[in-house]
A and B are shown apart, each in its own frame.
Chain A
Protein backbone atom coordinates (compact mmCIF):
# COMPACT_ATOMS: atom_id res chain seq x y z
CA UNK A 1 0.00 0.00 0.00
CA UNK A 2 1.29 3.48 -0.70
CA UNK A 3 0.60 6.80 0.95
CA UNK A 4 -1.81 7.88 -1.82
CA UNK A 5 -4.05 4.88 -1.09
CA UNK A 6 -3.87 5.69 2.61
CA UNK A 7 -4.60 9.37 2.02
CA UNK A 8 -7.55 8.54 -0.28
CA UNK A 9 -8.91 6.15 2.33
CA UNK A 10 -8.56 8.82 5.03
CA UNK A 11 -10.62 11.10 2.78
CA UNK A 12 -13.40 8.48 2.75
CA UNK A 13 -13.78 8.03 6.50
CA UNK A 14 -17.04 8.99 8.13
CA UNK A 15 -17.49 12.71 8.79
CA UNK A 16 -18.30 11.97 12.43
CA UNK A 17 -14.56 11.56 13.05
CA UNK A 18 -13.86 14.99 11.55
CA UNK A 19 -16.66 16.46 13.62
CA UNK A 20 -15.13 14.92 16.72
CA UNK A 21 -11.90 16.79 15.99
CA UNK A 22 -13.76 20.10 15.84
CA UNK A 23 -15.64 19.34 19.05
CA UNK A 24 -12.61 18.12 20.99
CA UNK A 25 -12.12 20.14 24.14
CA UNK A 26 -8.58 21.29 24.66
CA UNK A 27 -6.98 19.86 27.76
CA UNK A 28 -7.36 22.41 30.51
CA UNK A 29 -4.20 24.18 31.62
CA UNK A 30 -5.73 24.54 35.06
CA UNK A 31 -5.78 20.81 35.68
CA UNK A 32 -2.25 20.62 34.32
CA UNK A 33 -1.00 23.11 36.90
CA UNK A 34 -3.02 21.54 39.68
CA UNK A 35 -1.56 18.14 38.84
CA UNK A 36 2.03 19.33 38.59
CA UNK A 37 1.59 21.65 41.54
CA UNK A 38 0.48 18.70 43.63
CA UNK A 39 3.43 16.65 42.39
CA UNK A 40 5.79 19.52 43.24
CA UNK A 41 4.25 19.93 46.69
CA UNK A 42 4.61 16.21 47.40
CA UNK A 43 8.15 16.34 46.14
CA UNK A 44 8.96 19.23 48.48
CA UNK A 45 7.58 17.33 51.46
CA UNK A 46 9.51 14.21 50.54
CA UNK A 47 12.70 16.21 49.96
CA UNK A 48 12.31 17.92 53.32
CA UNK A 49 12.12 14.51 54.97
CA UNK A 50 15.04 13.05 53.12
CA UNK A 51 17.63 15.83 53.39
CA UNK A 52 18.99 14.89 56.80
CA UNK A 53 19.37 11.26 55.78
CA UNK A 54 21.49 12.04 52.78
CA UNK A 55 23.63 14.80 54.10
CA UNK A 56 24.10 16.21 57.54
CA UNK A 57 24.32 19.78 56.32
CA UNK A 58 20.72 19.40 55.12
CA UNK A 59 21.39 19.89 51.42
CA UNK A 60 22.06 16.71 49.57
CA UNK A 61 23.06 17.01 45.96
CA UNK A 62 22.37 13.29 45.51
CA UNK A 63 18.64 13.14 45.12
CA UNK A 64 17.29 10.32 43.02
CA UNK A 65 13.71 10.58 41.77
CA UNK A 66 11.70 7.55 40.69
CA UNK A 67 8.80 7.86 38.23
CA UNK A 68 5.60 5.85 38.13
CA UNK A 69 2.24 6.00 36.43
CA UNK A 70 -0.63 5.74 38.86
CA UNK A 71 -3.90 4.34 37.52
CA UNK A 72 -2.25 4.21 34.08
CA UNK A 73 -2.47 7.98 33.65
CA UNK A 74 -1.31 10.27 36.46
CA UNK A 75 2.40 10.58 36.96
CA UNK A 76 4.12 10.35 40.32
CA UNK A 77 7.69 11.54 40.80
CA UNK A 78 9.00 10.56 44.21
CA UNK A 79 12.43 11.19 45.71
CA UNK A 80 13.92 7.93 46.85
CA UNK A 81 15.05 7.19 50.37
CA UNK A 82 17.62 4.52 51.14
CA UNK A 83 15.96 1.19 51.92
CA UNK A 84 12.44 2.35 51.05
CA UNK A 85 10.42 0.72 48.27
CA UNK A 86 8.98 3.27 45.83
CA UNK A 87 6.51 2.29 43.04
CA UNK A 88 7.97 2.55 39.55
CA UNK A 89 6.53 1.87 36.08
CA UNK A 90 7.76 1.02 32.64
CA UNK A 91 7.60 4.00 30.27
CA UNK A 92 7.79 4.09 26.48
CA UNK A 93 10.35 6.37 24.87
CA UNK A 94 9.96 8.03 21.47
CA UNK A 95 12.26 5.43 19.91
CA UNK A 96 10.01 2.56 21.04
CA UNK A 97 12.17 1.39 23.98
CA UNK A 98 10.48 0.55 27.27
CA UNK A 99 12.25 1.18 30.55
CA UNK A 100 12.18 2.45 34.13
CA UNK A 101 12.90 6.16 34.57
CA UNK A 102 14.94 7.85 37.29
CA UNK A 103 16.39 11.32 37.47
CA UNK A 104 18.81 13.36 39.51
CA UNK A 105 19.90 16.99 39.51
CA UNK A 106 21.72 17.96 36.32
CA UNK A 107 25.26 19.35 36.61
CA UNK A 108 24.43 22.25 34.28
CA UNK A 109 20.77 23.18 33.69
CA UNK A 110 21.83 25.35 30.73
CA UNK A 111 22.69 22.19 28.81
CA UNK A 112 20.02 20.37 26.77
CA UNK A 113 18.03 17.63 28.53
CA UNK A 114 20.10 14.49 28.85
CA UNK A 115 18.77 10.93 28.98
CA UNK A 116 21.25 8.13 29.60
CA UNK A 117 20.12 4.71 28.49
CA UNK A 118 21.24 1.87 30.72
CA UNK A 119 21.31 -1.06 28.40
CA UNK A 120 21.24 -4.05 30.74
CA UNK A 121 21.92 -6.87 28.31
CA UNK A 122 23.22 -5.08 25.22
CA UNK A 123 19.97 -5.85 23.41
CA UNK A 124 20.26 -2.84 21.10
CA UNK A 125 22.96 -0.62 19.69
CA UNK A 126 24.33 2.29 21.65
CA UNK A 127 23.24 4.66 18.87
CA UNK A 128 19.71 4.82 20.30
CA UNK A 129 18.72 8.28 21.53
CA UNK A 130 15.78 9.34 23.64
CA UNK A 131 14.22 12.75 23.16
CA UNK A 132 10.85 12.16 24.78
CA UNK A 133 9.31 9.75 27.25
CA UNK A 134 5.60 9.17 27.14
CA UNK A 135 3.84 10.73 30.12
CA UNK A 136 6.87 12.58 31.50
CA UNK A 137 7.52 16.28 30.98
CA UNK A 138 11.29 16.36 31.06
CA UNK A 139 13.10 19.49 32.21
CA UNK A 140 16.71 20.55 31.93
CA UNK A 141 17.27 20.79 35.69
CA UNK A 142 17.21 17.00 35.80
CA UNK A 143 19.43 14.38 34.28
CA UNK A 144 17.43 11.29 33.35
CA UNK A 145 18.34 7.62 33.46
CA UNK A 146 16.32 5.23 31.29
CA UNK A 147 16.91 1.67 32.46
CA UNK A 148 15.93 -0.98 29.92
CA UNK A 149 15.60 -4.26 31.85
CA UNK A 150 17.23 -7.41 30.47
CA UNK A 151 14.91 -9.02 27.94
CA UNK A 152 15.26 -12.63 29.03
CA UNK A 153 15.40 -12.12 32.77
CA UNK A 154 12.71 -11.51 35.32
CA UNK A 155 12.88 -9.10 38.25
CA UNK A 156 14.63 -8.32 40.56
CA UNK A 157 16.92 -6.14 38.46
CA UNK A 158 19.97 -4.36 39.75
CA UNK A 159 20.84 -0.89 38.51
CA UNK A 160 24.20 0.63 39.48
CA UNK A 161 24.27 4.45 39.31
CA UNK A 162 26.88 7.12 39.76
CA UNK A 163 26.10 10.74 40.56
CA UNK A 164 28.54 13.61 40.62
CA UNK A 165 28.11 16.92 42.42
CA UNK A 166 30.21 19.78 41.14
CA UNK A 167 29.72 22.07 44.15
CA UNK A 168 30.99 19.62 46.75
CA UNK A 169 33.17 17.81 44.21
CA UNK A 170 31.88 14.51 45.49
CA UNK A 171 30.59 11.34 43.95
CA UNK A 172 27.81 9.00 45.07
CA UNK A 173 27.66 5.35 44.09
CA UNK A 174 24.24 3.75 44.36
CA UNK A 175 22.73 0.38 43.77
CA UNK A 176 19.04 0.47 42.94
CA UNK A 177 17.08 -2.79 43.09
CA UNK A 178 13.86 -3.10 41.11
CA UNK A 179 11.46 -5.80 42.23
CA UNK A 180 8.19 -7.06 40.83
CA UNK A 181 5.24 -6.85 43.21
CA UNK A 182 1.63 -7.86 42.82
CA UNK A 183 0.48 -4.72 41.06
CA UNK A 184 3.66 -3.61 39.29
CA UNK A 185 7.23 -2.81 40.28
CA UNK A 186 9.03 -1.09 43.16
CA UNK A 187 12.53 0.37 43.32
CA UNK A 188 14.76 0.67 46.37
CA UNK A 189 18.16 2.20 46.99
CA UNK A 190 20.09 -0.71 48.47
CA UNK A 191 23.47 0.92 48.81
CA UNK A 192 24.52 4.56 48.84
CA UNK A 193 28.13 5.50 49.35
CA UNK A 194 29.51 9.02 48.88
CA UNK A 195 33.13 9.90 48.26
CA UNK A 196 35.02 13.16 48.01
CA UNK A 197 36.69 13.30 44.67
CA UNK A 198 40.48 13.31 44.85
CA UNK A 199 42.99 14.10 42.19
CA UNK A 200 45.21 11.19 41.23
CA UNK A 201 48.68 11.59 42.72
Chain B
Protein backbone atom coordinates (compact mmCIF):
# COMPACT_ATOMS: atom_id res chain seq x y z
CA UNK B 1 0.00 0.00 0.00
CA UNK B 2 1.42 3.41 -0.85
CA UNK B 3 2.07 6.11 1.75
CA UNK B 4 -0.84 8.29 0.69
CA UNK B 5 -3.36 5.50 1.27
CA UNK B 6 -1.87 4.73 4.68
CA UNK B 7 -2.17 8.41 5.61
CA UNK B 8 -5.77 8.42 4.42
CA UNK B 9 -6.43 5.51 6.79
CA UNK B 10 -4.91 7.56 9.65
CA UNK B 11 -7.16 10.46 8.72
CA UNK B 12 -10.15 8.12 8.65
CA UNK B 13 -9.08 6.93 12.16
CA UNK B 14 -8.95 3.35 10.88
CA UNK B 15 -6.80 1.01 12.96
CA UNK B 16 -5.83 -0.69 9.73
CA UNK B 17 -3.47 2.28 9.29
CA UNK B 18 -1.25 0.87 12.05
CA UNK B 19 -1.17 -2.64 10.59
CA UNK B 20 -0.41 -1.29 7.11
CA UNK B 21 2.30 0.94 8.54
CA UNK B 22 3.78 -2.01 10.37
CA UNK B 23 3.61 -4.25 7.30
CA UNK B 24 5.41 -1.66 5.18
CA UNK B 25 7.94 -0.12 7.54
CA UNK B 26 7.92 -2.38 10.61
CA UNK B 27 11.30 -3.96 9.85
CA UNK B 28 13.09 -0.65 9.33
CA UNK B 29 11.57 0.79 12.52
CA UNK B 30 12.44 -2.30 14.55
CA UNK B 31 16.02 -2.33 13.25
CA UNK B 32 16.47 1.34 14.14
CA UNK B 33 15.10 0.85 17.64
CA UNK B 34 17.07 -2.37 18.15
CA UNK B 35 20.31 -0.64 17.10
CA UNK B 36 19.77 1.82 19.95
CA UNK B 37 18.36 -0.49 22.61
CA UNK B 38 20.03 -3.80 21.82
CA UNK B 39 16.96 -5.55 23.23
CA UNK B 40 14.18 -7.17 21.21
CA UNK B 41 11.32 -6.61 23.66
CA UNK B 42 12.25 -3.00 24.37
CA UNK B 43 12.60 -2.35 20.65
CA UNK B 44 9.16 -3.85 19.93
CA UNK B 45 7.59 -1.73 22.67
CA UNK B 46 9.24 1.43 21.39
CA UNK B 47 8.08 0.75 17.86
CA UNK B 48 4.53 0.26 19.16
CA UNK B 49 4.81 3.50 21.16
CA UNK B 50 6.02 5.21 17.99
CA UNK B 51 3.01 3.87 16.08
CA UNK B 52 0.78 5.38 18.76
CA UNK B 53 2.75 8.63 18.46
CA UNK B 54 2.18 8.54 14.71
CA UNK B 55 -1.54 7.88 15.31
CA UNK B 56 -1.68 10.99 17.52
CA UNK B 57 0.27 13.14 15.07
CA UNK B 58 -1.68 12.22 11.90
CA UNK B 59 -3.97 14.14 11.63
CA UNK B 60 -3.36 17.06 11.74
CA UNK B 61 0.04 16.40 10.13
CA UNK B 62 0.28 14.89 6.67
CA UNK B 63 3.93 13.82 6.35
CA UNK B 64 5.37 13.27 2.92
CA UNK B 65 7.34 11.02 2.81
CA UNK B 66 6.01 8.94 5.69
CA UNK B 67 9.03 6.77 6.57
CA UNK B 68 11.44 9.49 7.83
CA UNK B 69 8.59 10.95 9.88
CA UNK B 70 7.93 7.62 11.61
CA UNK B 71 11.66 6.94 12.04
CA UNK B 72 12.12 10.26 13.86
CA UNK B 73 9.45 9.20 16.35
CA UNK B 74 10.92 5.70 16.72
CA UNK B 75 14.36 7.15 17.37
CA UNK B 76 13.03 9.63 19.93
CA UNK B 77 11.18 6.93 21.90
CA UNK B 78 14.12 4.54 21.68
CA UNK B 79 16.61 7.10 22.99
CA UNK B 80 14.25 8.01 25.84
CA UNK B 81 13.96 4.32 26.73
CA UNK B 82 17.70 3.83 26.39
CA UNK B 83 18.43 6.70 28.75
CA UNK B 84 15.95 5.35 31.28
CA UNK B 85 17.36 1.80 30.97
CA UNK B 86 21.02 2.63 31.07
CA UNK B 87 21.31 5.60 33.37
CA UNK B 88 24.06 3.77 35.18
CA UNK B 89 25.78 1.55 32.68
CA UNK B 90 26.67 1.55 29.04
CA UNK B 91 25.67 -1.10 26.57
CA UNK B 92 24.94 -1.71 22.96
CA UNK B 93 25.71 -0.18 19.62
CA UNK B 94 24.29 3.24 20.47
CA UNK B 95 26.85 3.76 23.25
CA UNK B 96 29.67 2.57 21.03
CA UNK B 97 28.67 5.04 18.32
CA UNK B 98 28.32 7.85 20.87
CA UNK B 99 31.64 7.01 22.55
CA UNK B 100 33.24 7.21 19.12
CA UNK B 101 32.08 10.78 18.58
CA UNK B 102 32.46 11.89 22.22
CA UNK B 103 36.06 13.10 21.89
CA UNK B 104 35.09 15.10 18.83
CA UNK B 105 32.54 17.02 20.94
CA UNK B 106 34.62 17.32 24.09
CA UNK B 107 35.15 20.90 25.09
CA UNK B 108 36.55 21.86 28.48
CA UNK B 109 35.57 25.50 28.10
CA UNK B 110 31.91 25.45 27.12
CA UNK B 111 29.47 24.81 29.94
CA UNK B 112 27.48 21.70 29.18
CA UNK B 113 23.95 22.28 28.00
CA UNK B 114 24.55 25.85 26.87
CA UNK B 115 24.02 24.82 23.28
CA UNK B 116 20.35 24.30 22.56
CA UNK B 117 19.53 21.17 20.62
CA UNK B 118 17.60 23.13 17.98
CA UNK B 119 20.41 25.61 17.38
CA UNK B 120 22.90 22.77 17.24
CA UNK B 121 20.62 20.88 14.83
CA UNK B 122 20.77 23.83 12.41
CA UNK B 123 24.55 23.91 12.69
CA UNK B 124 24.73 20.15 12.08
CA UNK B 125 22.48 20.59 9.04
CA UNK B 126 24.86 23.25 7.71
CA UNK B 127 27.74 20.86 8.32
CA UNK B 128 25.92 18.01 6.56
CA UNK B 129 25.45 20.29 3.55
CA UNK B 130 29.23 20.60 3.26
CA UNK B 131 29.66 16.82 2.90
CA UNK B 132 29.38 14.72 -0.23
CA UNK B 133 26.19 12.68 -0.48
CA UNK B 134 28.12 9.47 0.24
CA UNK B 135 29.81 10.83 3.35
CA UNK B 136 26.56 12.41 4.56
CA UNK B 137 24.69 9.11 4.22
CA UNK B 138 27.48 7.21 5.98
CA UNK B 139 27.57 9.78 8.82
CA UNK B 140 23.79 9.62 9.30
CA UNK B 141 23.74 5.84 9.10
CA UNK B 142 26.26 5.76 11.93
CA UNK B 143 25.09 8.60 14.21
CA UNK B 144 21.38 8.79 13.43
CA UNK B 145 20.48 5.16 12.71
CA UNK B 146 23.31 3.73 14.88
CA UNK B 147 24.10 1.21 12.12
CA UNK B 148 27.20 -0.94 12.54
CA UNK B 149 30.08 -0.57 10.07
CA UNK B 150 29.05 -3.91 8.54
CA UNK B 151 25.46 -2.68 8.07
CA UNK B 152 26.65 0.60 6.55
CA UNK B 153 28.91 -1.33 4.18
CA UNK B 154 25.94 -3.49 3.17
CA UNK B 155 23.72 -0.45 2.56
CA UNK B 156 26.27 1.66 0.70
CA UNK B 157 28.48 -0.83 -1.14
CA UNK B 158 31.71 0.43 0.43
CA UNK B 159 34.04 -1.76 2.45
CA UNK B 160 34.03 -1.58 6.24
CA UNK B 161 37.57 -0.20 6.15
CA UNK B 162 36.53 2.52 3.78
CA UNK B 163 33.58 3.37 6.04
CA UNK B 164 35.94 3.56 9.02
CA UNK B 165 38.33 5.91 7.24
CA UNK B 166 35.52 8.13 5.96
CA UNK B 167 33.95 8.39 9.43
CA UNK B 168 37.28 9.25 11.04
CA UNK B 169 37.73 12.04 8.54
CA UNK B 170 34.14 13.29 8.89
CA UNK B 171 34.37 13.40 12.71
CA UNK B 172 37.54 15.46 12.39
CA UNK B 173 35.78 17.81 9.97
CA UNK B 174 32.80 18.07 12.35
CA UNK B 175 35.03 19.07 15.23
CA UNK B 176 36.71 21.73 13.10
CA UNK B 177 33.31 22.94 11.92
CA UNK B 178 31.94 23.18 15.47
CA UNK B 179 35.00 25.19 16.49
CA UNK B 180 34.58 27.45 13.46
CA UNK B 181 30.92 28.03 14.37
CA UNK B 182 31.98 28.73 17.98
CA UNK B 183 30.00 25.83 19.41
CA UNK B 184 33.30 24.50 20.71
CA UNK B 185 36.13 26.79 21.69
A interface, CB within 8 angstroms of B? 1-22, 24, 26-29, 32, 92-94, 96, 131-135, 137-138
Contact of A96 among B143, B164, B172, B178 (CB under 8 A): B172
Contact flag A132-B112 (CB < 8 Å), given A18-B72, A19-B65, A27-B156: no
Contact flag A12-B118 (CB < 8 Å), given A5-B113, A19-B67, A92-B169: yes
Decide: A10 and B144 in contact? CB cutoff 8 A.
Answer: yes
Contact of A22 among B68, B83, B117, B143 (CB under 8 A): B68
* Inter-chain CB contacts under 8 Å: number: 134
Q: What chain B residues lie within 8 Å of A8 (beta carbons)?
A: 79, 117
Contact of B121 among A1, A3, A10, A135 (CB under 8 A): A10
CB neighbors of A among B139-185 (8 A)? 140-141, 143-145, 155-159, 161-162, 164-166, 168-169, 172, 178, 183-184
B interface, CB within 8 angstroms of A? 63, 65, 67-69, 71-72, 75-76, 79, 83, 98-99, 101-102, 105-107, 110, 112-113, 115, 117-118, 120-121, 123-125, 128, 133-134, 136-137, 140-141, 143-145, 155-159, 161-162, 164-166, 168-169, 172, 178, 183-184
Contact of A17 among B101, B115, B128 (CB under 8 A): B128
Decide: A3 and B83 in contact? CB cutoff 8 A.
Answer: no
Decide: B161 and A131 in contact? CB cutoff 8 A.
Answer: yes
Give the complex CA separation of A26 and B145 in angstroms. Answer: 17
Give the complex CA separation of A96 and B133 in angstroms. Answer: 22
Q: What chain A residues lie within 8 Å of B168 (beta carbons)?
A: 94, 96
11 residue pairs bridging A and B, Cβ less than 8 Å apart: A2-B102, A3-B99, A7-B143, A11-B75, A12-B120, A15-B68, A18-B68, A19-B65, A131-B164, A133-B165, A137-B161
Q: What chain A residues lie within 8 Å of B141 (beta carbons)?
A: 21
Q: What chain B residues lie within 8 Å of A137 (beta carbons)?
A: 159, 161-162
Q: What chain A residues lie within 8 Å of B79 (beta carbons)?
A: 7-8, 11
Shortest C-beta distance, A21 to chain B (Å), equals 5
Decide: A12 and B121 in contact? CB cutoff 8 A.
Answer: yes
Give the complex CA separation of A3 and B72 in angstroms. Answer: 18
Contact of A132 among B83, B107, B161 (CB under 8 A): B161
Give the complex CA separation of A200 and B158 in angstroms. Answer: 49
Q: Which residue of A lies closest to B67 (CB)?
A: A22
Q: Which residue of A lies closest to B168 (CB)?
A: A94
Contact flag A9-B98 (CB < 8 Å), given A28-B157, A134-B165: no
Give the complex CA separation of A131 and B99 in angstroms. Answer: 20
Decide: B162 and A5 in contact? CB cutoff 8 A.
Answer: no
Contact flag A11-B105 (CB < 8 Å), given A24-B137, A133-B165: no
Decide: B184 and A1 in contact? CB cutoff 8 A.
Answer: yes
Q: What chain B residues lie within 8 Å of A32 (beta carbons)?
A: 157
Shortest C-beta distance, A37 to chain B (Å), equals 16
Decide: B117 and A12 in contact? CB cutoff 8 A.
Answer: yes
Give the complex CA separation of A5 and B102 in angstroms. Answer: 11
Q: What 5 A-B pairs have minimum CB-CB distances, sorted nearest first?
A: A27-B157, A12-B121, A9-B120, A18-B68, A132-B161
Give the complex CA separation of A135 and B162 in angstroms. Answer: 7
Decide: B76 and A11 in contact? CB cutoff 8 A.
Answer: yes
Q: What chain A residues lie within 8 Å of B159 (beta carbons)?
A: 137
Decide: B105 and A3 in contact? CB cutoff 8 A.
Answer: yes
Q: Which residue of A lies closest to B129 (CB)?
A: A17
Give the complex CA separation of A8 and B156 in angstroms. Answer: 25
Shortest C-beta distance, A56 to chain B (Å), equals 39
Shortest C-beta distance, B62 to chain A (Å), equals 13
Q: What chain B residues lie within 8 Å of A27 (beta carbons)?
A: 134, 156-158
Contact of B137 among A9, A20, A133, A135 (CB under 8 A): A20
